[in-house]
Amino acid sequence: MIPVNEPLLNGNEKKYLTECIDTGWISSEGPFVSRFEQGIAARVSRRHGIAVSNGSVALEMAVAALGIGKGDEVIIPTFTIISCAAAVVRAGAVPALIDSDPITWNMDIKQIEARITSKTKAIMVVHIYGLPVDMDPILELAEKYHLLIIEDAAEMLGQTYKGRPCGSFGNISTVSFYPNKHVTTGEGGMVLTNDDVLAEKCRSLRNLCFQEKKRFIHEELGWNFRMTNLQAALGIAQLEQLDAFVAKKHKMGQKYTEMLSDIKSIDLPVQRTDYAENIYWVYGIVLKDEIPLDAEEVMKQLGKKGIGTRPFFWPMHEQPAFRKTALFEKESYPVAERISRRGFYIPSGLALTENQINEVSRALHEVLA
């Protein structure tokens, strides 16, 4: 079986982990945590990094730190991971959804302005699968309408937009260190900002809002979202290899495109836009309408041939968890609905070998012949 993702852990991971065990520093108090925070922040040109337990809670904390809550609306793509919408809904705010661009699969920025109301407080930008969102028009809208920007760069560490690092845009950005991301800590995430006050707020929220002088008296409610020294040790070793990892993803994507472009019934990821080269966080495929199979059926057939796959995201407006609360009633976003039914991704992990790419390509040719 070729798994859909396998991480690469052959740098200094073992060495730094051993250091944690030898020194006894395993909790969030250990020295690797702030080193990792500084390393990631420097990498994306941010002043502050606040490490947390995963990318989903990073979003939750970002929303809370910005003071988003009841009565507010936050513009987000409908085609994304549930974490984005969950962070907004848990804060008591309402997500205002945007359909996808059929070419990049990112949110269609042309539709944003029409969604802005007097209640709109923020735009949550999510870079999806390999290409960044076109940021300049969004930054202009934010300025024009006085909106906050949260940038979910979970899939885009190491990517740039017009030469500027993803993770450096807006008031706050977040990343994830899940094992399929470009830097992994097993589980983990980070909030990034240039704003000293926001950073302090996040540090406090992450740590139950303990106070320095009166430790067990809490003025506000926080969470325990702390990252351990063990996780940060892995992260530092991974970060040392980020450039090589991104280069490897890029090469993987180019090789897949070379091998699959003769299959007429599928759309492949676009290789570049005006502002970025695709770095193929995952290699997505969308079945054209003329073929009668949907993604589920093709994935089943690939599975029988030993090829691991994952479906595309399922749109937020079609999530039973939200529909049951009457959110997004009667809303329809045709592009997201189509790509979620006809899209899936093939093995794209950093440990993927050239032979495995050949094998995946062979299987796809057989199934789609």
Ligand X SMILES: *Cc1c(COP(=O)(O)O)cnc(C)c1O
User: Which residues make up the interface to ligand X (CB under 6 A)?
Assistant: 54-56, 80-81, 83, 126, 152, 154-155, 176, 178, 189
CB 213 to ligand X: min, Å: 33
**At 184, which amino acid appears?**
T
* Of 83 and 173, CB closest to ligand X: 83
Q: Which residue is nearest to ligand X (CB)?
A: 55
Separation CA 236–CA 13 (nearest Å): 8
CA atoms within 13 A on the CB side of 28: 13
Residue closer to ligand X by CB (options 30, 55) is: 55
Least Cβ distance, residue 57 to ligand X (angstroms) = 7
Shortest Cβ distance from residue 184 to ligand X (Å)?
10
| Closer Cβ to ligand X, 202 or 260, answer by number | 202
- What is the sign, positive or negative, of the torsion defined by CA atoms of 320, 326, 330, 332? negative
Give least dist CB 118 to ligand X, A. Answer: 28
Measured from the CB atom, the residue of 100 and 361 that comes closer to ligand X is: 100
Q: Are 169 and 125 in contact (CB under 8 A)?
A: yes
Q: Which is nearer to ligand X, 61 or 363 (CB)?
A: 61
Q: What is the enclosing helix (H) or strand (E) of 39?
A: helix 31-43
Nearer to ligand X, 253 or 368 (CB): 253
Q: How far is the CB of 58 from ligand X (least distance, A)?
A: 7
Q: How far is the CB of 188 from ligand X (least distance, A)?
A: 7
Rounding to the nearest 10 degrees, give the CA dihedral for residues 227, 231, 236, 239. Answer: -90
AA letter at 248: K
The neighbour count for residue 95, using CB atoms within 10 Å, is: 24
Closest Cα to residue 58, out of 183, 193, 245?
193
d(CA 194, CA 290): 48
Q: Residue 212 and residue 12: Cα distance in Å, rounded?
A: 35
User: DSSP characters for 152-217?
Assistant: E-TT-TT-EETTEETT-SSSEEEEE--TTSSS--SS-EEEEES-HHHHHHHHHHHBTT--SSSTT-
- Give the list of residues 6+ apart from residue 308 with CB closer than 8 angstroms, or none: 1, 2, 3, 4, 5, 347
- Find out whether 168 and 42 touch, Cβ atoms under 8 Å: no
Q: Which is nearer to ligand X, 25 or 314 (CB)?
A: 314
Q: How far is the CB of 178 from ligand X (least distance, A)?
A: 4
Tell me whether residue 90 or residue 365 sits nearer to ligand X (CB atom): 90
Identify which of residues 101 and 152 has a Cβ nearer to ligand X in the complex: 152
Work out how close the CB of 316 gets to ligand X at its nearest, in angstroms, rounded to a whole number: 12
The count of other CB atoms within 10 Å of the CB of residue 130 is 27
Minimum distance, C-beta of residue 361 to ligand X, in the bound complex (Å) = 25
Give me the half-sphere count of Cα atoms (radius 13 Å) on the Cβ side of residue 206: 27
